[in-house]
Structure 1
Amino acid sequence: MDSILLLVQLLLFALSALGVAASDGMRGAREAHSLENLRNILLSLSLTLLVARLHPRWALWAARPLFFLALVLLGLNLVFGFGPSGERRFLDLPFVPFNLQPSELAKLAVPLYLAAFFHQKPADYPIIGPVMAIVLASGLILISPDLDTALFLLFLAGFLLLTIGVPARRLLAIMLSGGLVLLAFSGAFLERLQKARDRFESWQTYVSGRVNELSPELLRGPLYQITQAHKAIVNAGPLGQGLSARMPHIPESHNDFILASILWAGGWLAGAVLLLAWWLLLARGLQIAAHLEGAYSVLAVGLTLYLTLQAALNIAAVLGVIPIGGSPLPLVSVGGNAMLMAGVAMGLLHALAREAFKKEVRP
């Protein structure tokens, strides 16, 4: 096990437990999530320990079947899926003890698929096949509807392809073509993206400073969520209010907005520790990639981007820098699917670290 990666993971798990405990004590909390979170942490850590013992070549072997499985599940999700407000986010499959979220599997499958595709292939190899496959996955997610995750997959794939060395001009041309196909494919479903429009308009209202002009009755949905989160963050202070003080009501304070819960309980100091943990993960992941070659290096970069890009988007949304996107904070938010997929990703990074540094420990 890589000591730096393990330290980061344990730090994030500890902050997760702190944030969920603060959320459970929140004013108007409907149910407690600490036991569920503890279960998810233990399962995620178990997956990390298991995957870390395997050779990373198994990930390249399983990448294409895993990506195909993600596509199949995304298709089934459009028919049999369920979720809040008529959305199709989860599948209730037989013999699976929890509701499966195919989009979380797709996030992990994309970096594995691209690493496997470029295994023993040059960077100038035709890429229209994998790009269109990823556009298809994004389209299935978009019409579920989930605009934020669809865009995340495209950005993740784009960043990774640029890292591999695919010429930006060619990548842009293919992505634009794929984007046109995606729009045509999803045109009949665009009216279902009302939630995304509401989030963007609420963010515009907040950053324009017009919130104080609104009556309490108009502070609803995403606008209420972000104003309440910022009250908790500002009032937390350097060392936080602890778990004894009741946190202001914040919807999704155990999930998408768990950063506000962590800051309320542990203060800005806890926030600094959180940022330090993610910086360490980014730096270590890129260091591992620099010590590897070929598909393993691509895989290390992809897994690092998969985790840290999600974290950056979540933190930016909670702080009001970008519109609320609904992305969980990996290894911190309660969501079981996200926690388990992040545990697998961390296990792969541990395995890649062993390959990257094994020459340095030989006598």
Structure 2
Amino acid sequence: MAHLPHGRKLNFAAGPSALPLDVLQKAQSEMLNFNGTGISVMEMSHRSADFTEILTQAINNLQDLLDIPSNYKVLFVQGGGTGQFAAVAMNLMRLKPNHSADYFVTGTWSQKAAKEAEKYGKVNYVLPHTKQFKGVPHVNHWNLDNDASYIYYCANETVHGVEFQEPPSHNPDIPIVADMSSNILSKELDISKYGVIYFGAQKNVGPAGVTVVIIREDLLGRAMPSTPAVLDYKILAANNSLYNTPPCYGIYMCGLVFEWLKTHGGIETTAEKSNLKSSALYDIIDNSNEFYHCAVDKEHRSRMNVTFRIGGSNGNENLEKKFLEEAQNLHMIQLKGHRSVGGIRASLYNAVPVEHALKLADFMKDFQRRFGEPEA
């Protein structure tokens, strides 16, 4: 395989993950002297006119990309998705008198979110308990509470590779909260269906350290009295994300990614490419006679994180080690599955080019040809 420009690798990391090369090069060119200011964005006051322009443009571009209605606020915060596990509950759990919320637990991250929320109110687990996250059980198995303050789900579970293709059906009078850290900007969204959407930047948007919250205005001002100011959505919105010093450089990088997405066809294009990339791998998995095995139900397979074992459903550790070693030699990196589940995980976020996914697909076919069981 030919070497990539600048000694770059084919990066299939689950997060922090690949960023567009164009974005990195632009940031590099502006590192020492941003827009004639004589300083880096890293050195810039968050109260300055120059940073205000960076923040405003980032918000405007995100609003354009997602067609965000005017009655929603866009906030840039810190603390990652894990910080939002608490922030969501502290801001919304008291929307109704019984201080409870419905949680769909379909993987590691929604499981952690539910556990965190239990500190601030009652958590109703909508789905039957399971240790094997393979999809979303049929609606007949759901246990929704019409008195819930909100409904919470993780749109894409990066560890197990489970993705909701549509938001779960629910009582429209109850606001729905979605963690979209790993699939935001990868397909069209109707923002009006949600009360809150949040996403850590480090998968599809930018570097680690900044999280974006999109919240409907009528949900502001409902926080528990004990909510820290830096987690109170009303305070953050009133101060345009500048209540405290925000992650300035991370916001700048997110803004560059939003510009890049707009100039490369927007969400319609990213959705098309996401389908191409994931289909290329799943087609090989499904036609491998179980040499490659994906445990996730087909209708809930993630387009962002393709998880699989090699050598059968339980995996052959020697084959998987060999696969990772050979991939590394071909400049394909960070394909090892999450430590809690093992196996292989190929993350195909927006910044991963289609051709990189196709090169991985070619390698998978060649690897099976050389190490798979001979046909009968």
**TM-score normalised by structure 1 residue count:** 0.29
**TM-score normalised by structure 2 residue count:** 0.29
- Give 1 or 2: higher helix fraction: 1
- Give 1 or 2: higher strand fraction: 2
Relative contact order, higher structure (CA 8 A, sep 6+): 1
